[in-house]
Structure 1
Amino acid sequence: MKKTKIALVACITGAIALTACNDDGDADNESGEEIANVDGTSLTEEELTNELKNEYGQQLFNQMIQDTILRQQAEELDIGEEEVEDELEDMREQMGVEDDEQLLEMLQMQMQIPVDSIDELKEDFLLPQVVIQELSTAEVDISEEDKEEYYEENEEALTEVEVRHILVEDEETAEEVLDELEDGMSFEDAVEEYSEDSASVPEGGNVGTFPQEGHQMDENFADAAFELDEGEVSEPVESQMGHHIIEVLDRNETYEELEEEIESRLTQEQSKMPEEVLQELMEEADIEITDNEYEDWLQEPGAMPMQ
């Protein structure tokens, strides 16, 4: 399921931001104490609290209920530290970071997610996510026959290649690079000396693995890559970025090589949507609104923005 998880990473913002709004639970919400004064106009804590309540109250109210239900489910399912740590490791891998400090920096700076610690990330997002994932796949049943049939029907589309490349400005330079490679220069050294793709240079020109269908690569680039055998180097390939020398590092095309990916795809197809899981949990939960002020605040998960 790794390839489906990355989509959920983008949903962290709401859950953590709303949780953060509720962290200062000891504040006196009825306080009329002044917290600022603007040219003689007093601003009070009560006014601030009312503004926050009017703006975010209903959303936070529903998020708190959902969080409570999910934490109860985590206990019922006996989901513990090990499962959450596995989820954290998957997140590091998907986001291309090696340690927690880098992960937090990426979440905070690049994705604008206000999470201050790994413990907060695990408690406020990853634990609920593990619960939803486990419940969404609880009824999934995939047989060996299902996987083999899927492979037979989608063999070409499933084929994957891992490639590295050298990007240069024009065909003449690309031919010069090919000559250097034929004369014994290593591909890594050629990447370092010639490639203009700054993003892949630190990786030795490696741009990762992508499937024959559903990829985000330039079509000329992808078509050329899939015509190569493992270890084979291409002639100059023109794309919108320039001219490429491509080498295929790995090629996955047999059932054995693609079985994990096939199972992941079939699992995703059969899994319940997170909204459906939450809807079922809320219908099964005994939710009693004990203050009349909030009796109209409860919403169905489908009516709420996903956190």
Structure 2
Amino acid sequence: MKKWILSLSLTVGVIGLAACGNNEAVVKTEAGNISKEELYEALKDKYGEQVLQQLVFEKVLSKEYKVDEKEIDSMVDDLKSEYGAQFEFFLMQNQFKDENELRQTMKLNQLVNKAATKDITISEDELKEYYDTKQPKIKVRHILVEDEDTAKEVKAKLDEGGDFVELANEYSTDTVANENGGDIGFIASDESGIDPQFRDAAFELDVNEVSAPVQSSFGWHIIEVTEKEEKKPFEEMKAELEEELKSSRLDATAIQKALKEEIKKAKIKVEDKDLKTTFDLLLADDPADTDTESKDDTEKEDKTEETK
């Protein structure tokens, strides 16, 4: 999942609350009630601009671009496969209330991605070259210890026929992975969230091969590859590869520019006075452009003075 200028979490339940004039009680207490209007105002003060941006972006972009729900299903399935029993922990760690909120964020990110990459062209040769360098994902488990001597001790026990799961529970300091016998799920060769020393060593292994001790920023690992995905034919991966290459050419500036264009086209008008400035920063003229215009205006004035 890409984490651009959008928040990873949709969090706040402003959606569906009346904007004003609704005194229906949300909570009743002996000290007094909390009305929907009070809740709305409190949520608006704290999260209003963030949530309004997300709602408007989704509304505007959904009119121009479509996201296949099967794409979202596939992305969620990949995460579930990667994190296994730790999927709920992944949701909590990234501040998602539940899977539905994750799907909402994925959809919005896909919409933004489509808007920002619509003018990027990838050639057939680029796609084939990328395909040739793309390695299938591998499923990995590991035992993490603090020092090399302990890692050598664990490796020796494995070489003598020791059980990986039992040794992981006995030695490994990765308590999260230990709940699955040291299994950390599938990883990609270009995955950014994994220590590069660990990742590179893992991709040098064959299935069922156990590594020598590997040092990373977290300590010393004994790594085993338990499964390797089969590489799909080029034609089946073509659309996915094109999307990945296009996304790799994006940065925050390109995304902001795309959102600015879409919001301008939509001609939005914020009616709530407290949220009037929500899109001002996004829609503001580029300072560089403003400086150029000012310079041009100054030059025109100078030339006018010269002709008088």
Whether the TM-score (by the shorter chain) exceeds 0.5 is: yes
CA contact (8 A) 1:135 1:277 kept: yes
The percent of aligned pairs where both chains have the same amino acid is: 27
Name the SS for the 1:280 alignment partner: helix
Offset at residue 303 of structure 1 (A): 6.1
Aligned residue among 60, 66, 70 for 2:61: 70
Structure 1 Cα separation of the partners of residues 275 and 202 of structure 2:
59
Query: Which residue does the alignment assign to 2:299?
Result: none
| Partners of 1:146 and 1:200 in 2: CA distance | 37
The 5 A counterparts of 1:40-59 are: none
CA positional deviation for 1:87: 1.1
The alpha-carbon deviation at position 22 of structure 1 amounts to 4.0
Pick from 189, 199, 211 the counterpart of residue 189 of structure 2: 211
TM norm structure 2? 0.59
Whether 2:140 is the aligned partner of 1:144: answer no
Select 1:28's aligned residue among 7, 21, 27: 21
Which of 270, 280, 284 is 2:261 aligned to? 280
1: CA distance between counterparts of 2:275 and 2:167?
A: 67
Q: Counterpart of 2:245?
A: 266
| Cα deviation code 1:2-48 (max 9, x no counterpart) | xxx253697243x442xx224222862599xxx9998xx99998777
Alignment of 1:1-307 (within 5 A): 5-7=1-3, 11-13=7-9, 15-17=10-12, 20-25=13-18, 28=21, 63-73=54-64, 77=66, 79=67, 83-84=68-69, 86-91=71-76, 93-94=78-79, 96=82, 107=91, 109-113=92-96, 118=100, 125-149=105-129, 163-168=140-145, 171-207=148-184, 208-211=186-189, 216-217=194-195, 219=197, 221=198, 224-225=201-202, 228=205, 231-238=208-215, 241-249=218-226, 263=242, 265-270=244-249, 273-287=254-268, 297=277, 299-300=279-280, 302=282
- Asked if structure 1 preserves the Cα contact closer than 8 Å seen for 2:48 and 2:275, the reply is no
Q: Distance in 2 between matches of 1:64 and 1:285?
A: 13
- 1:37·1:43 contact (CA, 8 Å) conserved in 2? no
CA contact (8 A) 2:260 2:283 kept: no
Amino acid of the structure 2 residue aligned with 1:182: D
Contact residue 160 and residue 211 of structure 1 kept, 8 A: yes
Q: From the superposition, tell whether residues 130 and 148 of structure 1 become closer, same or farther in structure 2 (CA, over 3 Å).
A: closer
**Residues 191-231 of structure 1, C-alpha deviation per residue, up to 9 Å, x if partnerless?**
34544432323444334435379563274x55655665554
**For residue 24 of structure 1, what is the amino acid of its counterpart?**
L
TM-score (norm 1): 0.59
1: distance between equivalents of 2:193 and 2:106? 28
Unaligned residue ranges in structure 1 (runs of 5+): none
Give the letter aligned to residue 123 of structure 2: S
Letter in 2 for 1:216: I
Contact 1:161-1:251 at 8 Å conserved across structures: yes
Instruction: Classify the secondary structure of the residue corresponding to 1:199.
Output: helix
Distance 2:47 2:172 in 1: 49
Cα distance, 1:281 vs structure 2? 1.5
Q: Secondary structure at the match of 1:234?
A: coil
Structure 2 distance, partners of 1:43, 1:213, is 47
Letter in 2 for 1:166: I
Contact 1:136 1:277 in 2 (8 A): yes
Q: Is the 8 Å Cα contact of residues 164 and 205 (structure 1) preserved in structure 2?
A: yes
Give the 3 Å change call, closer, same or farther, for CA 98–72 of structure 1 in structure 2.
Answer: farther
**Could you tell me whether the CA contact under 8 Å between 1:160 and 1:212 is conserved in 2?**
no
- Helix, strand or coil: the match of 2:78? helix
Relative to 1, partners in 2 of residues 1:71 and 1:170: Cα closer, same or farther, differing over 3 Å?
A: closer
How many corresponding residue pairs? 272
SS in 1 for 2:17: coil
Structure 2's unaligned 5+ residue stretches are: 285-308
CA deviation after TM superposition for structure 1 residue 90, in Å: 1.4
Note the aligned Cα RMSD (angstroms): 5.1
Q: Distance in 2 between matches of 1:127 and 1:178?
A: 44
Q: For the structure 1 residues 181 and 59, does the alpha-carbon distance in structure 2 shift closer, same or farther, using more than 3 Å as the test?
A: closer
